[in-house]
A and B are shown apart, each in its own frame.
Chain A
Amino acid sequence: QKEVEQNSGPLSVPEGAIASLNCTYSDRGSQSFFWYRQYSGKSPELIMSIYSNGDKEDGRFTAQLNKASQYVSLLIRDSQPSDSATYLCAAPARSSNTGKLIFGQGTTLQVKP
């Protein structure tokens, strides 16, 4: 069973809409989750981290964590064409205490003007 799973997309939304990106994880004991944005040919850029159940907001981004259902999501409000990228969900591997991250496949977001 994959530790972190994402729908690869692409997810297409019109400019100004809310984009909703989802991620599920297999380890019920996972405590922290990270969202990275990756533009084509570039490196992952940390957007948000979330540790507690509920919502965490940062500007246009909101991360949501539901530990009971084992999913974490990222909402992007007022989506802009510059938000078009692949969004990676990551969690520390529970089998490790070194902080190594396990990444999902990533969801490609396309924001159409």
Chain B
Amino acid sequence: EPEVTQTPSHQVTQMGQEVILRCVPISNHLYFYWYRQILGQKVEFLVSFYNNEISEKSEIFDDQFSVERPDGSNFTLKIRSTKLEDSAMYFCASSGLKETQYFGPGTRLLVL
């Protein structure tokens, strides 16, 4: 069964460093998303991506964040200068239909 994959599973970084989180969505899906979940809190939307451009972003998704789909398979989230409060689980999701979303296993990001 097709699934969303994410790498790395864990990332530890120093405050101020750049990180790139990678995702391979399900191959025939068209809509891509990033969510994050701070420990003990809700899953919260960061950004949606369709037709090679951002379709919506949340207030959290400020200038430090960017997304790319550099080729036909990968979908990346870059955080340019990490802050302590960026520590969270980051989930990539994809969908063929706009709403039925399948989540990847997540990347646990720890900013020290």
Contacts and interface: CB of A to CB of B under 8 A. Distances in A.
Interface of A: 32, 34, 36, 42-46, 49, 88, 90, 92-93, 96, 98-106
A32 B98 CA distance: 11
A113 B43 CA distance: 29
B100 A100 contact: no
B101 A43 contact: no
A43 B91 contact: yes
Interface of B: 31, 33, 35, 42-45, 48, 50, 55-56, 58, 89, 91, 95, 98-106
Contacts, number: 61
Given A32-B99, A44-B91, A92-B99, A102 B104 contact: no
Nearest to A100: B45
A32 B103 CA distance: 18
Contacts of B45: 93, 100-102
B99 A99 contact: yes
Nearest to B104: A43
Given A96-B56, A100-B33, A42 B105 contact: yes
A98 B43 contact: no
B56 A100 contact: yes
A101 B44 CA distance: 8
A100 to B, nearest CB: 5
B88 to A, nearest CB: 13
A42 B106 contact: yes
A42 B103 CA distance: 10
17 contacts: A34-B99, A43-B89, A44-B43, A44-B103, A45-B103, A46-B100, A46-B102, A49-B100, A92-B99, A98-B31, A98-B48, A98-B98, A99-B99, A99-B101, A100-B45, A100-B56, A101-B45
